[in-house]
Amino acid sequence: MEYQVAADALNGKVILVTGAGDGIGRQAAISYAQHGATVILLGRTVKKLESVYDEIEAAGYPQPAIIPLDMMGATRQHYLDMTDTIEQQFGKLDGVLHNAGMLGVLSPFDQIEEKAFDEVMQVNVKATFLMTQALMPLIQKSEDGRIVFTSSTVGHSGRAFWGTYAISKFATEGMMQVLADELSNTTVKVNAINPGGTRTKMRASAFPAEDANNLKTPLDIMPLYLYLMAPEGKDVNGQCIDAQPK
């Protein structure tokens, strides 16, 4: 399917992107801004967020905002405070792209260390859960709210050695389905994207020997990211969609 949205599809919308400093999140923030959204750039490395901010501003897109936050250490209270700040500054939130994530260590199951397990689950699952819970009342006030999670091919089909990462993405898809079902009679749509192999630092660390030139870039997979946030995608709910279908 071709995912197409109008050039001004996101005009007037306020969209939060996590992990907005690098890789797919960086491109999604820029693409949402290009289509008219005011984007809130959340991430842990301020320099990277500032560089995305500068790029959006230089292009003349709506002025973005930065939220520096390390999802490894953030508590429920951080997410509640963040939600208050967004409401005070922007008056609303129309969408969140849960994109931040970590790969952790790829290893045989019996060698997964408890600390490494906890770290990946903390960032990929628990922090995403806490943030979603805190943001929900605000997103439910939007006329056309969107929550988009990020899964993986190993989020619905387990694979040897993908350990905690795969487990965390199964949990992500479960969270998406539960929430989508609960909100199915509301204006909020909840979905997930499986980006497929995409040219980023995370992909390079999982597949150090491959030629990255053969991979799609974050820009290549943006049509689906835009579609699920735009009015064009308003009838999709509870789906995990491949950005690079085979």
Query: Least distance (Å) from ligand NAP to the CB of residue 51?
Result: 11
Residues binding ligand NAP (CB under 6 A): 19, 21-25, 43-45, 48, 70-72, 99-102, 123, 150, 152, 195, 197-198, 200-203
Cα 129 versus chain centre, distance: 12
N-terminal to C-terminal alpha carbon distance within the chain: 11
Secondary element (H or E) of residue 65: strand 65-68
| Nearest approach, Cβ of residue 48 and ligand NAP (Å) | 5
**Residue 93 Cβ vs ligand NAP, minimum distance, rounded to whole Å:** 18
Angle at 83 between CA 78 and CA 87, to 5 degrees: 150
Q: How far is the CB of 152 from ligand NAP (least distance, A)?
A: 4
Is the Cβ–Cβ distance between 195 and 203 less than 8 Å? no
Cβ-based nearer residue to ligand NAP, 182 or 210: 210
Question: Which residue's beta carbon is nearest to the bound ligand NAP?
Answer: 23
Quick one: which of 116, 131, 119 has its CA closest to 43?
Answer: 131
Cα gap 169→149, rounded to integer Å: 10
Nearer residue to ligand NAP within complex by CB, 102 or 180: 102
Query: How many alpha carbons lie under 13 Å from residue 11 in its C-beta half-sphere?
Result: 5
Nearer to ligand NAP, 95 or 195 (CB): 195
* Closer of 13 and 48 to ligand NAP (Cβ): 48
Active site residues: 165
